[in-house]
Structures are given as structure tokens and as C-alpha cells.
Structure 1
Amino acid sequence: MSSMDVWLHGFPLPGTTEQAARSAERQGYAGLLLADSQNLVGDPYVELALAARATGRLGLGVAVTNPVTRDPSVTAAAIATVHAESGGRAVLGFARGDSALRQIGLEPAPLNVFTQALETLQGYLRGGTVEVRGTGARLAWLPAGLTKVPLDVAASGPKVIAAGALRAERLTFNLGAEPGLLSWALGTARRARERAGLDPDDVSYGAYVNVACADDVDGATEMVRGSASIFAHFAAEAARHGVPLTEADRSTAEALRDGYRESAHGLTRSAQASALPDAFLRRFALAGPPEELTERIAELRGLGLGRLVAVPASRDADPSFVTESNERFAAEVLPAVGRSELRAC
């Protein structure tokens, strides 16, 4: 069976990123992705530049930015700068927006705004001229010979999945570790490309998955509770648009959606996180001993996923637990999954 790239998700907190990047590279992760949420964490592009200088192989990206808090021209210039400084190791994660917008009272970008932003970004990143408000614009400073930054769309619902499948090199699903949901998402993406006359295999597919690697299953489950509530919220909102949840999970999703409080985003000690049943979390996240995680990841790989983004414990989790979990996952799960370096799209 083919290998799977495993990336690590993290927060761009000043003073921590360089060491986190060195550790991720040493441990064999394919890349490091940093959140873009200006009210909760530092600037990801500043921290990615520091990570670029601290590493030599590690893929580097933002996961994820949006078309509202940053104009597409600003986003394209920022990630292309990281790409140039890192020797072509950058990836741009892009979505409609979540905490970066909700923390300042805004809603995710409408689908048409999001779709137009994808096309504009691709024009900039290819070095072309794009029409913006009646003006032809381009990144005139791009170095000659610089490879294109891959665009990676984070998606949950069918319309965003289809938009990303048609316009990006990568598509990463926000639906947890549920094989049934991920199989549905893959089918949705592949059908969208087939209907457009495009090869469905020309896109790299992946999934964001909450991960806590520890023998104590109950303890591991608690450590991902807050983080998993974020991704469960994505699935809950997408369920309104056709994501096929079971009746039991639909009830859980509705309760989560109705009671979600942005002020407690990603925290274990929050009402939305506490409301998630343990049984749901153990299916939705990868929380447990290495042998169990290895088996479950093999199942996800068998669906046709080529990439996994491991999202560690919640924002308020014990940092020592997060470090231990990441190290153990790297030492005991990555070798079985298959390590690989960042590949050009």
C-alpha cells in the first residue's frame, strides 16, 4: 500500500515555532501547518519564515487562511515569500474562514466570494495577471524559476468540496477520522472533477484529524476534546448542506451547533466540548495507543487519502502531554504509515 504524508498542525506562538519546526523535521513529519487566527495566535507568515530558516526539508504552510481578513494579493505575496525563502517548501491552506472571522464578529465568506478568491489566488501564484476591480494585477517580484505554491482547500460541505476539487491542487477534508464521512467526501470531490472533464486523480486528497497518542484512552480522549469540538462544529454546520451524518451524530451535531460559543473556541473546558459524548469523540478523533492509531490510519489510507494533518491536543491542554503525544506518534506510528518528503504538485 502506498505511503501517506503526515503533516503536523500547530499554533504560531512567538518564541515556540522554531523549536517546534526543528522537532517536527527531526521526528519525520512531512510538514508543519500553522493556524491563521489573529486574535488567538501570532502571525503565521512571520513564524513560517523563522521555521524556514530553522529547517531544511520540512514542508511549511498556513492552515488555514481566508479571503476576508487578508486580500488575496496579500495572501499570495505572503505565502510566495515563504516559498522563496524556504527553497520551494510552502503550501497555502485556504477556506471560507472560521475563528479569524468569528472572533471579530464576521461570518465565513459566501461561496461566490470564496470561489472567486480561489481563482484570483491561483492567478497570482502562477505568476499571471489577474483582473481585480478593473485593473490588471500581478506579483511582479516573483523570482524567475520559483515553483508554484500549491493551493490546499480545507472543506466540509459538498459545495466547498466541489469548488476546491475544481480549482486547487490539494483538498483536505474537515470531517474528522470517520471513514464513512471521508469516503463520502472523496466521492463528492471525484465526481465534481469527472463532471468537469478533469482527472480525479490529479488532486491530492487529505484529512485534518485530531490526534492524541497515549495508552490511556480516556486521558487521550480528554486531551483532544476541545480541539475536536472545532472540527465537529465544521461537520455540524456542513450537515445542513448534505453531509450524511447518522441520526445519533446528527443529534450531537445539532446540540453542538446550537450551543457553540466562539469565546471558548478550541478549549477543553467549554460547554461545546463537554457536550461531546465520549463514544462520538473516540470515533471522530484518533485518540489512543499507537497500535490502534496505526490500524485506523491504515483504513483511512485505504480510502484513497494521501495525506493526514495531525491536529494535536486542545489549546488549553498540558504542553508536556502534547509534546509527549507528538513524539510517541512520530516514533511508533509514522514508521508504519510511511514517511515522505514534500512532493511538488
Structure 2
Amino acid sequence: MTAKTAHSGVMLADSPTDAGANRVRAADRCGFGRFHLADRGLDGRDQWVMLGAMAGATERIRLGLVTNPFTRTPATTANALRTLRELTGGRAFVVLARGGERILAGGGAVAQRPIAAVRETLGAVRELCPGAETWVATKGPAMAQMALRHADGLLLSGIPHALLPQVTAELRSGMDRPVTIGLSVAYGGDDATVTRDGLIRVALELGNLRDEYREAAGIDAKLVEAVKRELFGGGTLDRAADLVPEELLAQFTLVAPRPELKTAIGRLRDHSGVDVVEISASAVFDDGGRLLAQEFDTTTQRTS
């Protein structure tokens, strides 16, 4: 199938179950097209269970999980997606990724032959859940080319924003069928105030940053190595975030005043050449589901 999507989506890494339910209900009311959770392994709650609870709390928004084929086997993921599709009346999707080193290590997993493993999971989904919407999240060209052949959507993240127009243009030049390109981005705050979530997101992106992107964006190699030591060498995520210079936020996150967030998402979408931008839920809603970004108080374009 071809992934149909509204122009804006919401993502949530982890939160208490009641806060997650409040936010997804609010996103549904505001007309967001998509809501996905990120699989944090043992660092967070079981996200398939949370999505099942969210299914009954929503009517239109599409629900999905970003996961990997190593901490969750291909058959397990395909079966969970099949179940969520039943609960949502078809509003379910899955985003498959290699899996970050921190997530894999927490689950005692190793990424062996990641492209083949993601491809195997796509095959398992097609077999158990025909017609289900599938995405691949990646920064790497080889995984991206596989996604263009076998998935409905390609979700980008961790690419410095200045490089995105070239990256997406190259991807589109290699398409021989319709594939939706999305961008996952955290909220970094405005010019006066940065967010902790934004610093954490940049730290995680630096930990998995491809060398060619680092060099092209002029990011200090010593900074990247210091962040990696904190992330993967026995340090903490908070200490890794403390190392992130605030000027890097604009390269990896969305920096804009909250009252102008919807407009800023549109500008980023147009600049980068993607079809959909997914923003962190905490940028738009508080834990109670109250709207923080007032531009979203009217309905945005919905999935048709």
C-alpha cells in the first residue's frame, strides 16, 4: 500500500500511561494525522501495550511504533501490528529501525546484519498483516535504498537540517514507486529558552551520527566522541546532554516560539523536501493534554 499521511504528526518517547493517553486524545482532536511511540526497551513502558490502550481513546489518528528487529523479533512485531490494526480499525503502522546502541545494549541485543533483519521484519509483516503500513527509519543510504524498494515510508532523523534538501532530493531521484518521506524532530525551544528534551535528543543523535554528516555539518569530532563516552561508556544520558552546545539545537531540532510552531513545522517541511514532519508531543501538549502551541487549535489537514 502507499502510506497516506497528513502533513504533521506527533511522537512520544516515553511517558506515564495517563499522560500518553491525554496527549494522543488531544492530538486526535487537533487533527494530527499520525502519532507514534518510540520503543525504549527496558528504559520505558511496553509501547505496544500503550498503543492498545490509545486505540480505544482515539477515532481518526493513525497509531504506530518505532522499533527494531533485535529487541523484538520479526514475528513478534508483525503479530503485535496485526492486533493493533484490529483494535484501531486499520489505523496502525510500524516504523522499523536498526536500533540505537543504547537501546540494544539495554535489551542485551546486538545489531547483526541490520538491513537484512529489517527486511525480514517487513516480510513478516506482509505475511501476517497484508496491507499494513510499514516505514523504515534510517540515516544510512543502504538502509534507505532498501526502504525505497520494500516499505511505504521512510522516516529520517539525526541528519543536520542544512543537509536535508540534498539528502531528500537524492532519495527521490532513486524512487521508482511512491514512498512517503518523513522527518522526526524534537522541539528545541525558542531563541531565549532551550528544552531539556531537545538537548537529550541532540545527544542521542550525536551518538549515532554518521561521519559524513558530521564532517559536512562541521561538527567537532572531539565533541561527538565525548558524548559517545557518556552514552556508551558507562556514563549517563543526562551528562551526555550537558555536553551539547546550545548552538547545535538548530541543526537537529525545531527551534521556534511555541505560538509559531505550526508555521515553523511547515517551513521545515518545505525546506527539507519531506512530506510529513513529526514533532515531539511535549512541544504541543502538556501531560494533561492541554494545548501549548495555539496554532494547532484549528484542524490541520487529515489523512484522506
Number of positions where the alignment pairs a residue of Structure 1 with one of Structure 2: 297
Match runs of 1:1-345 below 5 Å: 4-11=7-14, 13-62=16-65, 64-98=66-100, 99-125=102-128, 127=130, 148-175=131-158, 178-193=160-175, 198-199=176-177, 202-212=178-188, 217-234=191-208, 236=209, 238-239=210-211, 242-243=212-213, 245-246=215-216, 248-251=218-221, 252-261=223-232, 267=237, 270-290=238-258, 293-294=261-262, 296-302=264-270, 303-312=272-281, 322-323=286-287, 327-329=291-293, 331-332=294-295, 339-343=300-304
In structure 2, C-alpha distance between the alignment counterparts of 1:168 and 1:184, rounded to whole Å: 21
Amino acid at match of 2:137: A
Contact 2:7–2:33 (8 Å) recurs in 1: no
Amino acid at match of 2:59: G
Contact 1:125–1:149 (8 Å) recurs in 2: no
Given the superposition, is the C-alpha separation of residues 279 and 30 from structure 1 closer, same or farther in structure 2, using an over 3 Å criterion? same
Q: Percent identity?
A: 23
Q: Any stretches of 5+ residues in structure 1 without a counterpart?
A: 128-147, 315-319
Quick check: which has more Rg, 1 or 2? 1
SS in 2 for 1:93: strand
Contact 2:188–2:255 (8 Å) recurs in 1: yes
Could you tell me how far 1:261 is from its partner in structure 2?
A: 3.7
Amino acid at match of 1:19: N
Given the superposition, is the C-alpha separation of residues 255 and 326 from structure 1 closer, same or farther in structure 2, using an over 3 Å criterion? farther
In structure 2, C-alpha distance between the alignment counterparts of 1:229 and 1:206, rounded to whole Å: 21
Given the superposition, is the C-alpha separation of residues 157 and 30 from structure 1 closer, same or farther in structure 2, using an over 3 Å criterion? same
Superposed CA RMSD in Å reads 3.2
Given the superposition, is the C-alpha separation of residues 106 and 293 from structure 1 closer, same or farther in structure 2, using an over 3 Å criterion? same
SS in 2 for 1:124: helix
Contact 1:229–1:276 (8 Å) recurs in 2: yes
Instruction: Describe the superposition over 1:27-59 as per-residue Cα deviations: whole angstroms up to 9, x where unpaired.
Output: 332222112223111111111111111111121
Contact 2:14–2:37 (8 Å) recurs in 1: yes
Could you tell me how far 1:276 is from its partner in structure 2?
A: 1.1
Could you tell me how far 1:86 is from its partner in structure 2?
A: 0.6
SS in 2 for 1:32: strand
In structure 2, C-alpha distance between the alignment counterparts of 1:264 and 1:33, rounded to whole Å: 28
Deviates more, 1:278-287 or 1:162-171: 278-287
In structure 2, C-alpha distance between the alignment counterparts of 1:186 and 1:271, rounded to whole Å: 33
Q: Any stretches of 5+ residues in structure 2 without a counterpart?
A: none
User: What's the TM-score once normalised by structure 2's chain length?
Assistant: 0.83
In structure 1, C-alpha distance between the alignment counterparts of 2:224 and 2:297, rounded to whole Å: 31
Given the superposition, is the C-alpha separation of residues 247 and 182 from structure 1 closer, same or farther in structure 2, using an over 3 Å criterion? closer
In structure 2, C-alpha distance between the alignment counterparts of 1:109 and 1:278, rounded to whole Å: 35
User: What's the TM-score once normalised by structure 1's chain length?
Assistant: 0.74
SS in 2 for 1:249: coil
